[in-house]
Structure 1
Amino acid sequence: MTVPGSNSSIDPIRSIRLYSIIVPLNNSVSDAKVLTGRQQALKEVSLLVAEIETESGLEGLGFTYTLRTGGPAQFAHAKEIAPLLIGEDPNDIQRLWNKLSWAGASIGRYGLAAQTIAAFDSALWDMKAKRAGVSLAKLLGAYRNEVRCYNTSGGYLQASVDEILDKSTTSLARGIGGIKIKVGHPDRRLDLRRVEAIRKGLGNNVPLMVDVNQQWDRTTALRMGRALEQYNLQWIEEPLDAYDIEGHTALAAALDTPIGTGEMLTSANEVLAYMQQGSIDLIMHDAPRVGGITPFLKAMQVAEQRGMMMAPHFVMEIHIHLAAAYAHETWVEHFEWLEPVFNERLEIREGKMIVPSRPGLGLTLHEQVKNWTVASHELNRMKI
């Protein structure tokens, strides 16, 4: 019998396992940041995976990621802060997020520090939903069992128009509901020719989006935005620097095409600043990048109050659950890049991604992950 006020019903965290995993891409890809010389082509995704287990044997699986740089730093910081979770009640997710955040406050409570916490945070949410015997979407209070989805991985700038159309046809045949392509060439006329050719090839009824990856200045963004109005785009993504709130405000007011951003923001507060200013039509924040599901939900709640459209960036394996729990118009972004990491596959049909019914995030690691693991670390209550 549980005595009121006692801790006898708590199932504390007993052990944590960490993995640093490098997932290779089948082919390297380039966006506008590569063409402007600011970054190198993308060849792999670095994952930090956390497996958390309680005294009773209940497990939670979570992960975060980084592109190009930062993977070893995430793993190193995770090793530093993981011991703070041993013996804790895994249900106290908000309190534990704050505990881990303050532990690393000397290196900041945004950016890499927050992105590291995301691996633990998503594992705790996974565990909480498993304890309840429902998917994370159901735990959060799902509005829908399927979410509109669009593909991005086939639309990078290194691909020709013919290649993009070929990959788009394959995506649409698979059941994906929209296509996003990269723009931001130094020669703006090339962007317009590509968009026109792809719109013509896909037809007027296929939802089409473009992503600039922050490579336009304010004048270029306004001119290009006006030129692109004729193509009936779902949205223009990251037309300006991710921290140019004033520029986004002016651009969104000047154009009919919705303007979105958010994927490069690394805290809930940064996301909230955009919404408080009414600077964009579409919020596109990323749960691992803002610090996990906990801060993502804080921003999502404000977006919901404002009636905004939401389209979370990347990691469809997590965002499908969060998008399902959003009240208004929402999309989830399809990338196949992380599919080899997990045993499960997300189902797609008739333009929508089906919300998994498996408990938690509904994910288990594939055996081949061992071949991509570059570092691991384990700690448990007996050794602390």
Structure 2
Amino acid sequence: MQSKNKLTLEGIEVRAVSIPMRRPIVSKVGAYPEWPFILIDVKTKEGVVGRSYLEPYLREAVRYIGPAILDLADMLKGRQLAPLDFFRDAMNKLHLIGRQGVSLIAAAGIDMAIWDALAKAAGLPLAALLGGSVGHLRTYNTNGLWLIPLDRLGEEAEQLVAEGNFNAIKIRLGRPSLREDMEALRTVRDAIGPDIELMCDFNQGLALHEAISRCHGLDDQGLYWFEEPVVFDDYAHSAQLARELKTPVQIGENIYGPRSFLQAVLAQAADLYMPDLMRIGGVTGWMRSAAIAGASGHPMSSHLYPEVSAHLLRATETCDWLEWRDWGNPIIAEPFEVKDGFVNVPNRPGNGIDWNEDAVSKFLY
């Protein structure tokens, strides 16, 4: 599409779909046989459409996130689309009701779509618009190994590795006992061998005393990281674990906005960070947090949103791992592909999200 110097909002369309999970999520935070997405189209008078989506976990969330998106979009009417200006104005508007939760999630969805529109108008991949480049990213498969029966873990681990010749996969821990967690790890390691990196996620499921005992008990298992052993905003106790353990502590998917990200870093709450785009504040919130991670020397990975996250990691100083999940692939016109454990960020304008409208129609609710 021809490059345009100015984009002006014409309207925003918000839709919701729910996609059945190939491997239903079973974790400490709940069970999810389906995965909802809120689809956002930012339409401009110049004909460019910016697209993004949100992953709100709950089907009913569109009832309150959708109106919040449309409310925040009102401030864009008649104005040039400029994501930094929008982010600043959105944060100022939210001073009185809070800059976390639904309000920031709604702003993040709009922010991502604006950046997509700007990249399309410039004829550039989002990574290039941000000053980076397209190319490969190492990725791990997060599409399974939930808290399922132990006798299913080995076969599923083999499947996860084979899906993209992955060099890394993730397992969920926090079973009723250390013995069961150890058995789960042995089963998976026996199935995949010693050369595949293995991350683990506790999904905030442990109280402090449990986390101390459990993580020390697992500290010699060669895991790449312990993810969210305790409640996400308990920075003091997370910092205690990071100090005591040999295995790096990973947090970040539940941190809201770059200011809270800075507070976590200042509290030395973790060794590694993995922001989630709908909570960190979209592209703008990510890039501001990536600057903090870069200045402090903390490796930065992603949480969900593989298409947009892949572009952002290519422009992130301390880029570590892309979390790969394919739950949204049915509604994406050209899903990204994994080959030999790497995702290739495509050299096409925008963030890589265009809708498969036939699939969208099928999954609408």
Farther off after superposition, 196-205 or 178-187: 196-205
Alignment of 1:1-384 (within 5 A): 10-34=6-30, 41-68=31-58, 70-90=61-81, 92-142=82-132, 145-158=135-148, 160-173=149-162, 174-367=164-357, 368-374=359-365
**Whole-angstrom distance in 2 between the partners of 1:195 and 1:9:** 54
| Deviation by residue 1:3-29 (Cα, 9 ceiling, x = unmatched) | xxxxx9643222222212223323532
Q: Is there any run of 5+ residues in structure 1 with no aligned partner, and where? A: 1-7, 35-40, 375-384
Q: How far is the alpha carbon of 1:329 from its aligned partner?
A: 4.3
Give the equivalent residue in structure 2 for 1:3: none
Task: Count how many residue pairs are aligned between Structure 1 and Structure 2.
Answer: 359
Render the CA deviation track for 1:121-169: whole Å, top value 9, x for unaligned: 00111011112211111222226611111111211112x3443332332
Conserved 8 A contact 1:11-1:54? yes
The answer as to whether partners of 1:144 and 1:325 remain within 8 angstroms in 2 is no
Question: Whole-Å Cα distance in 2 between the matches of residues 320 and 114 of structure 1?
Answer: 21
SS of corresponding position for 1:371: helix
Q: Distance in 2 between matches of 1:361 and 1:235?
A: 29
Q: Is the 8 A contact 2:125 2:134 kept in 1?
A: no
Q: Distance in 2 between matches of 1:45 and 1:98?
A: 31
Q: Deviations over 1:163-204 (max 9, x none)?
A: 333233233222222110001122232112111221222221
Give the aligned residue type for 1:326.
T
For 1:11 and 1:211, the matched residues in 2 are separated by 41
* TM, length-normalised to structure 1: 0.88
TM-score, reference length from structure 2: 0.92
Give the AA of the match of 1:172: V
Q: Which runs of 5+ in 2 are unaligned?
A: none
Preserved contact between residue 65 and residue 106 of structure 2 (Cα < 8 Å): yes
Tell me the secondary structure at the aligned position of residue 220 of structure 2.
helix
Q: 1:369 to 1:348 in 2, by over 3 A?
A: same
Instruction: Tell me the CA shift for residue 358 of structure 1.
Output: 1.5
Secondary structure in 1 matching 2:35: strand
Distance 1:126 1:247 in 2: 38
CA contact (8 A) 2:153 2:187 kept: no
Note closer, same or farther for the CA distance 1:96–1:324 as it changes in structure 2 (3 Å cut).
same
Q: Distance in 2 between matches of 1:113 and 1:44?
A: 24
Cα-Cα RMSD: 1.9
Contact 1:110-1:290 within 8 A present in 2 as well: no
Question: Structure 2 counterpart of 1:358, which letter?
Answer: R
